[in-house]
């Protein structure tokens, strides 16, 4: 049981390049999330998904797209990377039971845009 | 969502109890208090949550005041591995999807 995994762990992009971050979970969770964390700041929600085939915007969605074609995977895309997108990106997942908001987080992807 | 206020940083001696306060004076009746922590460079980790009763698990205890306007997370015997940023989050229960992370409290456990 690997929990939540993220690929890649590190990446350096040039301005204007595109890339996709992959998040995978093996806990059969319904909900998945993408956050970004800038230095000295808390996490900010980019996009989330409440089930396979669904996505929704979070607090800071501009410049990102997402897809949830399979329940276990949640992809975050940057079509044209900008230096302002330099950040650490965390993926999380959560089950659908009751009032518990226990999200399980991946190890993060450190992205630098030059 | 109710706004939370936490101290920016705290120190605690190793082996002593760490008491982390959180103010959430605008909390509404259906909102839970959640605590997460983030050890340096890692993804956040769930610790505990509660509605109005005090809660305890293998990691910590959560004390919520009777008026629910504030709470305290207690790590009974802090170790160096407990050095982390601790986030207090208030969120409605069933049907809510998102958690809003503020800046949290940086807890430093001192040898």
Out of A19-23, A36-40, A96-100, B88-92, the most confident range is A19-23
| Contact state of B34 with A43 under an 8 Å Cβ cutoff | no
pLDDT of residue B96: 56
| Contact state of A101 with B100 under an 8 Å Cβ cutoff | no
Q: Whose CA is closest to B73, among B34, B29, B38, B21?
A: B21
Per-residue model confidence as pLDDT tens digits over B49-94: 999 989 999 999 999 999 999 999 999 999 999 999 999 998 875 5
The DSSP symbol for B52 reads: S
The neighbouring-strand residues paired with A73 are: A24
Closest chain B CA to residue A98: B94
Least confident segment among A14-18, A37-41, A71-75: A37-41
Q: Which residues contact A10 (CB under 8 A, 6 or more apart)?
A: A109, A110, A111
pLDDT of residue A98: 59
Q: What is the mean pLDDT of residues B7-35?
A: 94
Among A31, A90, A98, the residue with its CB nearest the CB of B94 is A98
Which residue's structure tokens are 């997108």? A85
pLDDT of residue B93: 58
How far is residue B24's CA from residue B100's CA, in Å, rounded to a whole number?
Answer: 13
């Amino acid at each position: 049981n690997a929990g939540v995994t993220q690929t890649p762990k590190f990446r350096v992009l040039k301005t204007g390049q595109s890339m996709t971050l992959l998040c995978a979970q093996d806990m059969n969770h319904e909900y998945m999330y993408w956050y970004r964390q800038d230095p000295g700041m808390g996490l900010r929600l980019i996009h989330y998904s409440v089930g396979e085939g669904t996505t929704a915007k979070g607090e800071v969605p501009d410049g990102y797209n997402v897809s949830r074609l399979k329940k276990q995977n949640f992809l975050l895309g940057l079509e044209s990377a900008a230096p302002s997108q330099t950040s650490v990106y965390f993926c999380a997942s959560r089950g659908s039971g009751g009032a518990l908001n226990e999200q399980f987080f991946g190890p993060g992807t450190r992205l630098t845009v030059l | 969502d109710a706004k939370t206020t936490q101290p920016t940083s705290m120190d605690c001696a190793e082996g002593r109890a760490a008491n982390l306060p959180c103010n959430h004076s605008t909390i509404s009746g259906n909102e839970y208090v959640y605590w997460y922590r983030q050890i340096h460079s890692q993804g956040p980790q769930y610790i505990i949550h509660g509605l109005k009763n005090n809660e305890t698990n293998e990691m910590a205890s959560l004390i919520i005041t009777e008026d629910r306007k504030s709470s305290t997370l207690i790590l009974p015997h802090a170790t160096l591995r407990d050095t982390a940023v601790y986030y207090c989050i208030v969120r409605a229960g069933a049907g809510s999807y998102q958690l809003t992370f503020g800046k949290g409290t940086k807890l430093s456990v001192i040898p």
